Amino acid sequence: MDVVGERWNLLLVRELSLGPRRPRDLAAGLPGIPSNVLAARLKDLQAAGVVVRRTLPAPTDVTVYELTDAGRALQPAFKELLAWGRRAPEPAPDDAVQPSWAMQSVIGRPSALAEGQTCELRIEDEVFYLGSDGGRATVRRAPAPDGDVVVTMSLDTLYSLLTGQATATDALGRGTVDGEVGIAHHALEAFAGAGLVEQATAG
């Protein structure tokens, strides 16, 4: 708790869980965080070995932060917190909502994508790279280089899919697909119902 118990620290780890981010991207993903607090929290997480700062190669020369192995090891804890958070009341209409937050519930779910197949998912202004590792869904916040398919959909459609109100077929019908429809369907199957609270059943 000394490392991640400070306000904003776990949220920063969440923002970095889908890939490297610039400081201004982190600020945009954390509405309400003061710039001096952001800088202080990043410094603390660096000192604790949870994040690392680096500069992307030319021609970008952009400073980004990304998780270390220790930071990525927090993913199971996030899974448990996410499951706990699903039991809370629905968010208020004026609550901030971002597509990347919903992606956390998909990571590690069974995936129908074959190894090497990729899907680029575009939601609002965000772009995600969907793949599979050992039959489990992977998500990165980045375009899919040489992806098999590009899917574009609204945030409302994404949440309908995650909450089980829409199937992968429904979601594809509400958006646009450029590429292999079958691969797009396989990629979105991991999303179907991922936002529902998992209930234990008595045997």
Please say whether the structural domain 9-84 has been given the CATH code 1.10.10.10.
yes
Residue 188 has pLDDT above 50, yes or no: yes
DSSP 3-state assignment of 12? helix
Domain spans in the chain, listed from the N-terminal domain onward = 9-84, 99-189
**CATH of span 99-189:** 3.30.1050.10
86 pLDDT band, cuts 50/70/90, is low
DSSP 3-state assignment of 34? coil
Average confidence (pLDDT) over 160-167 = 89
Residue 199 has pLDDT above 80, yes or no: no
Strand order in the sheet with 126-133: 136-140, 126-133, 119-123, 149-153, 176-179
Per residue in 39-83, pLDDT tens?
999 999 999 999 999 998 877 789 999 999 999 999 888 878 877
